[in-house]
Structure 1
Amino acid sequence: MTTQNFSIDHAPAYAALTLQLRSGETMLVESGAMATMDSWITLKSKARGGLLQGLGRMLGGESFFVSEFTAQDRPGQLYICPGVPGDITHYHLTGRGGILLQSSGFVAAQPSVTIDTQFQGMKGFFSGESLFLLRATGEGDLWFSSFGGIVEIPVTGDYVVDTGYIVAFEDSLNYSVEMLGGLSFRGLRTGILGGDGLVVRFRGEGKVWIQTRRLHNLINFLEPFRPVRSSD
């Protein structure tokens, strides 16, 4: 698929993706993200990739099922809207490397792109984010989304990003989760509860994509306005 076969509209606050499918072409889309489509496009849903088979990402509190949309006999249009307000970015995989996405970032991809998970273990647990990253490899087009706008950052050497702002990064980069400013255990606990303290240090050469808003900050902002049932 070439760049003239898709468009991203209403970015960066409420981005939506329009895909122009050729006759017989199939596209993988995050389940539930399809908003509209031509009536001759067919749908098939399935779990995909390694650890995702059957169980999806249940341990991470989410499921990862993709929908396969195919334009039967003639070209068709597919309109895709991610679940949270934010931006969408296109990335083309060349077969020479991969990209890792936050678990909620996948929007769509060509079937030639392999979507799998990379378990973060204790790093994911202490970051307060999902235990899984999605890893995309192969050759073809991929689209991913964010909460807020997306900023692309070229990295050469070392670069530090707060865990809550990471959207995606190329797998040419090495990464580790660290405590910001050498915090003690008490400082670490305070940092987690306060929304700061843990960062990812990237090393090497590649690209990192960050989002301009952090979902946990919005949740904390809305918490005082949450209705509370009276004990009477």
Structure 2
Amino acid sequence: MEYEITGGSFPTVVCKLQKGETMKDESGAMAFMTSDIKMETNTGGGLLKGLGRALSGDTIFLNFFTAESDNQKIAFSACYPGKIIPIRLNGNNTIIGEKNAFLAAEESVDIDIYFKKSLGVGLFSGEGFILQKFTGTGMLFLEIDGEVIEHDLQPGEHLLVNQGHVAAMEESVTFDVERVKGAKNMIFGGEGLFFTKLTGPGKVWIQTMPVSKLAEAIIPYIPTSKD
């Protein structure tokens, strides 16, 4: 499978498939496909598997697209302004993504739910208790809100991230929360009460404009009806 990411701030990944190759996506992500691609919708592993993905923010059903001849093309578009990041899974690396991060992947990539073990992390990290877990082999495409910053954490190195800005990370990265220090900082700083604390080793992907913050920025400009 070959691919090209295009579209700038409104990105699309265009995949070129040879006969027998299959891509899968979350419901509604496909933008266009050529005529010799067969589509099939199912839970991708049974009802429980589908329900698990629904808990992590995706749909119960996945769409599978299989090329029935060579050189077929299919494109998947992000839901929000941002970036599409390609990650190659080799069977040894595991990626943990935020809810709704999944855009599309090769059929050999497995999608599952990932539970945070700490009550405090689930309540105060801004990411919730349930994330997405990606394993297997093949190309994985994640959609990121805004721009993306990649950071390689060394063993024991810490990174404090504001709520909602953690897009994805390698499973080797430890995920925790840390309270903002200082009463004035907590009350007047505007950064919330807790930071997400990431500890290496491993790579993390930080998104610059979580859709929740984008919504907050737009709300004051939305006209309201007056009695």
TM-score by length of 1: 0.84
RMSD in angstroms over aligned alpha carbons? 2.7
Q: Match for 2:160: what amino acid?
A: V
Among 182, 204, 211, which residue is 1:208 paired with? 204
Point out the more displaced range, 123-132 or 19-28: 123-132
Point out the more displaced range, 139-148 or 196-205: 196-205
CA distance in 2, matches of 1:133, 1:182: 30
Q: Match for 1:166: what amino acid?
A: V
Distance 1:216 1:23, change over 3 A: same
Alignment partner, residue 151 of structure 2: 153
- Give the deviation of 1:124 after TM superposition: 2.8
Point out the more displaced range, 22-31 or 119-128: 119-128
Distance 1:131 1:9, change over 3 A: same
- After TM superposition, the structure 1 = structure 2 runs for residues 130-141 of structure 1, keeping only pairs within 5 Å, are 130-141=128-139
CA distance in 2, matches of 1:125, 1:73: 49
CA distance in 2, matches of 1:62, 1:206: 25
Alignment partner, residue 65 of structure 2: 69
Q: Match for 1:163: what amino acid?
A: Q
Please say if 1:10 is aligned against 2:7: yes
Please say if 1:46 is aligned against 2:42: yes
Q: 1:163-187 CA deviation, whole Å, 9 max, x = no partner? A: 3111110001111122222669xx4
Tell me, which stretches of 5 or more residues in structure 1 are unaligned?
none
TM-score by length of 2: 0.86
Alignment partner, residue 36 of structure 1: 32
| Percent identical | 35
Please say if 1:124 is aligned against 2:122: yes
For the residue of structure 1 that corresponds to 2:213, the secondary structure is helix
CA distance in 2, matches of 1:105, 1:155: 21
Q: Is the 8 A contact 1:49 1:116 kept in 2?
A: no
Tell me, which stretches of 5 or more residues in structure 2 are unaligned?
none
Q: Is the 8 A contact 2:112 2:134 kept in 1?
A: yes
For the residue of structure 1 that corresponds to 2:201, the secondary structure is strand
- After TM superposition, the structure 1 = structure 2 runs for residues 177-188 of structure 1, keeping only pairs within 5 Å, are 177-181=177-181, 187=186
Q: Match for 1:37: what amino acid?
A: M
For the residue of structure 1 that corresponds to 2:51, the secondary structure is coil
CA distance in 2, matches of 1:61, 1:99: 16
Distance 1:57 1:102, change over 3 A: same
Point out the more displaced range, 107-116 or 117-126: 117-126
CA distance in 2, matches of 1:106, 1:6: 17
Among 136, 140, 143, which residue is 1:142 paired with? 140
Q: Is the 8 A contact 2:38 2:66 kept in 1?
A: yes
Among 7, 15, 19, which residue is 1:19 paired with? 15
For the residue of structure 1 that corresponds to 2:200, the secondary structure is strand
CA distance in 2, matches of 1:52, 1:162: 33
Please say if 1:198 is aligned against 2:203: no
- Give the deviation of 1:201 after TM superposition: 1.2
CA distance in 2, matches of 1:16, 1:209: 19
For the residue of structure 2 that corresponds to 1:24, the secondary structure is coil
Q: Match for 2:158: what amino acid?
A: D
Q: 1:18-61 CA deviation, whole Å, 9 max, x = no partner? A: 00011111111121011110012111122346996343555566
